[in-house]
Amino acid sequence: MNDAIRDVMIALAAMTDDGCERRKTPWSRGYWSYATDGKMAIRTTRMDEFIERGENDGTADAVDSLTAAATGPTWYDVPAVPPEPGPCPKCHGVPSVKCEACDGAGHVAWEFRHRGRTYDSVEDCPVCDGAGTVECTECGGTGKGDDPAVEVGPALIRAEYLRLLARLPGCRLAPVDGRSVIVFRFAGGAGAVMPVWR
């Protein structure tokens, strides 16, 4: 059970995408260990493998108050979501496609004239930078399709977060409305997640 919580904490912290290194891994303070990516936060009974980080005190304070935020009247189980996003409808999961500009060669031949002479020049293809392939424009190279948010009572929650929450033992959520932070609790801790605004 603790292994599941630990793995979710590590996965959540790794989702931090603002270059904030001090939050890229979970940390501990006092009785608790913490993890957040800036949009979801988890606090659980201290796991000593997560070191103390004084510079995260402000974030720990914020998580403490989030876990104590208002809850709605109903506690919902974590809804089932697909195990992962479907493939991209354009590239069908093969996000590198042949560069049309160079026909996959990665280079282009130029012929130019200067003072009556003709010169040949071969250069890296400017479209694919010499790679011969370009990323799918639909999915930006992830190969994945839409990962729609899922309704939990009055709130919409990103499927990515619901997949993590589903791994926390006995996790339940109590959304207040469609815009307020959503508190969740599980056997061993609590946390909060931002809804998707609609």
List of residues contacting Zn ion (CB under 5 A):
88, 90-91, 95, 99, 101-102, 125, 127-128, 136, 138-139
**Cβ(188)–Cβ(43) under 8 Å?**
no
* Closest CB to Zn ion among residues 1, 101: 101
* Closest CB to Zn ion among residues 108, 152: 108
**Cβ(15)–Cβ(37) under 8 Å?**
yes
If residue 3 lies in a helix (H) or strand (E), which one and from where to where?
A: helix 2-14
> What long-range pairs does 34-38 form, CB within 8 A, spacing at least 24?
34/59, 34/60, 34/63, 35/8, 35/9, 35/10, 36/12, 36/63, 37/12, 37/13
Tokens coding 135: 């990323």
CB 11, min distance to Zn ion, A? 24
Identity of residue 91: C
* Closest CB to Zn ion among residues 45, 137: 137
**Cβ(56)–Cβ(23) under 8 Å?**
yes
* Closest CB to Zn ion among residues 8, 139: 139
CB 82, min distance to Zn ion, A? 17
Question: Pick from 98, 162, 166, 169: which is nearest to 136 by CA?
Answer: 98
* Closest CB to Zn ion among residues 66, 108: 108
CB 86, min distance to Zn ion, A? 11
C-alpha dihedral sign at 2, 70, 38, 63: negative
CB 91, min distance to Zn ion, A? 3
CB 134, min distance to Zn ion, A? 7
